[in-house]
Chains A and B, each alone.
Chain A
Amino acid sequence: MGKNGATPSTHAGIVLAAGTGTRVGHSRNKVYLPLGGQRILTWSLAALARAPGVGRLVLAVRDKDEELAREVLDEELPEVAVDVVVGGTTRHESEHRALLHLAEEIRGGAIDVVLIHDAARPLASAEMIERVIRAARRDGAAVPGVPAEHLLGIDPAGRLTSGSGGNDTLVTVQTPQAFRAGPLLAAYEAAASDGFVGSDTAACVERYTEVPVRVVAGDPGNLKVTFPDDLFIAERLLAAHTRTSCPRSRGTPWSMSI
């Protein structure tokens, strides 16, 4: 990937770091935590940067984190071109702003597929990213999902409302999610006109386009850093993957017994 922008019919990756986690007082957004020698968001960006055909990367950050984000990128991903945009107060708004940043290239056909990824998911595998890109090119939109097992329904009083088992149609959805760029941009423009704020990307696409959203096989190891335990697990997994990870980054070689 060069620093001069998109090549014809490339894919673009949008990494969302604007709404990830709450901040209290002097606390920091968790995606800036170092893990395995690099920040969590660096791993997330590098995963997309390695994917075949991804020629543009956009990072959506909080206004207050913009300077920090640029420092991290300069230090940890100096050879990867990443555009930093200030996101909004909601995930939907951040996605919209990132898409507007790419709008000209999308309308001109220079970008055909857009990947949307959570910065707090540093372990997205190359195989899974390729799967969602392939499915999006074929069908229009694809999200990775893993079977949601052992789910039970309860009412507000905590009483069981449905039996166990038979949950093979339920999945927990992960990122990155991939979409044909034109319909995705059109969906967000239509949503903006309506004042609609979707809870996730697929919801907006389903509401404003005819594009079917396909679920492809996700990866149980593609965890989202949410709980403290996730940090320890992610560190171990990153140590296991380190020899093939982040070839474009200049992070210090990372060693850990596993």
Chain B
Amino acid sequence: MEHVHLVVLNCTNCQGEHLHEVVYAGRLLAATVCSNCGHEIAKDLPTLRRDYVSDAEHRVLTKPMRMLRAAIGHPLSFARALPGAVITKPAKLEHELRVLQGRRD
């Protein structure tokens, strides 16, 4: 999953439809930032970290079954995507840890 999505939302601060960055930590919503005024809405970090740990447990426990399903359902695309997924995993985890530290860089 991508960690930052760009979507147009109505900004509650500067009013009107503007591009927003929607930042995730894993599968969890972490923050939104308005590109027009910079208004940021973010989960408080202790809550985000607690939720992240809880969700990570689910992700780890269900990973084998999800991989098996993907391998059976779409063997070719699974085989094609697997090397890339393995290679990019450390970078994804690093991004998630940065978000959990409250960093947006």
Contacts and interface: CB of A to CB of B under 8 A. Distances in A.
Contacts of B29: 35, 231-232, 235
Nearest to A35: B29
A121 interface: no
A231 B27 CA distance: 13
Given A228-B41, A255-B54, A257-B47, A26 B7 contact: no
Contacts of A229: 12, 41
Interface stretch (A1-9, A17-25, A137-145, A161-169): A17-25
B8 A250 contact: no
Interface in B1-56: 1, 5-12, 17, 19-20, 22, 24, 27-29, 32, 34, 41, 43, 47, 50-51, 54-55
A22 B8 contact: yes
A52 to B, nearest CB: 28
A23 B9 CA distance: 10
B59 interface: yes
A226 B29 CA distance: 16
A235 B1 CA distance: 17
A226 B10 contact: yes
Nearest to A234: B29
Nearest to B41: A228
A227 B10 CA distance: 5
A110 B55 CA distance: 43
Contacts of A196: none
B41 A232 contact: yes
Contact of A24 (B8, B12, B22, B34): B8
Interface string A33-52: 11111000000000000000
8 contacts: A23-B8, A34-B1, A226-B10, A228-B12, A229-B41, A232-B43, A252-B58, A254-B27
Interface of B: 1, 5-12, 17, 19-20, 22, 24, 27-29, 32, 34, 41, 43, 47, 50-51, 54-55, 57-59, 62, 66, 69, 73
